[in-house]
Amino acid sequence: KEFIKVMKVLSDPNRVKLLKLLQKRTMCVCEIQATLGIAQPTVSKHLKLLEFAGLVDRKKEGLWVNYFLTDGGRSPYAASLLGSLRHWLDDDPEIRAAIGRSDDVRREDLCRTRE
């Protein structure tokens, strides 16, 4: 059951991109949204599923909720896949483009434009 849960969560390309982004750095929802170009509710849904599978966790710091990759401690399948994912898909053009876009995305700039 645990294996199927992790595999189902990884069946969506946006969730895989999201994991690859979080592999690079901790991000908030607005940064992920801006980088992937998908709606905030969709990002939140993806994060909830990734968290449920033990791949992602969050920590509230002041006004921010920061999302980051777990160590996979809750599931041996999550741990194994997170470890392998670090070496997979780095040459994928869509993932490289998303990571490149993330370099220019900062929460302070995003929130300033919304004020």
- Could you read off the pLDDT of 53-91 as tens digits, one per residue? 999 999 998 888 999 999 988 889 999 999 999 999 989
Give the containing element (helix H, strand E) for 65: strand 64-69
pLDDT number for residue 112: 65
Find where tokens 């905030």 sit.
40
What percent of the chain is predicted at pLDDT more than 90?
A: 79
**37 pLDDT higher than 90:** yes
Angle at 18 between CA 75 and CA 77, to 5 degrees: 15
pTM: 0.90
Mean pLDDT (whole number) for 89-102: 94
**Helices and strands per DSSP (H, E), number in the chain:** 7, 2
Q: Is the pLDDT of residue 111 over 80?
A: no
Whether residue 31 is predicted with pLDDT greater than 90 in this model: the reply is yes
Q: Confidence band (pLDDT; 50, 70, 90) for 107?
A: confident
